[in-house]
Chain A
């Protein structure tokens, strides 16, 4: 089965740039989506199709892919960005949705 690998945690100071990676075999051939989840809340989509932002999501959130890694970049990090972030793809070979293990972003 397809596996997505994320670092368990990332820490960054306010105003700096956070980069959260998501590794998967040939992930560049898939569409990667990113969700933000704050404690006690349902996930919210922040980036879809590798690089696109839903309406209402700040431009500070951006996505990219290169090789076997997708990256969510959060520029000018704010305290309110502290949350868990999950990458997600559709694995067509198994007809399964796959989530990464999640990354806890801590704003120092």
Chain B
């Protein structure tokens, strides 16, 4: 299965600032996904990152707040913009490396907003 490198692994940020999270995969993948996991909760899909086109956002998530880049088939970034304490969560990158059977996750970015 694909190996994902996600960074930073954790960060503490000031309210009102932005943080960009990077996701690097060791092989080319068609689809990359960004999830949020709020404290003690399950995973919620933020958006699907498409190479060569805009990301597809889930209900409740907007591009202005969570801009995503996907410059090639092995890399994506998620930015959490104008952060507030409610954005404190774990953000996870995931890839579908084998046509639906190889959903792998990065180790996540633990974000705390103060």
- Do A and B share a complex? no
Residues of A within 8 A of B (CB): none
- Residues in B lying within 8 Å of A, measured CB to CB: none
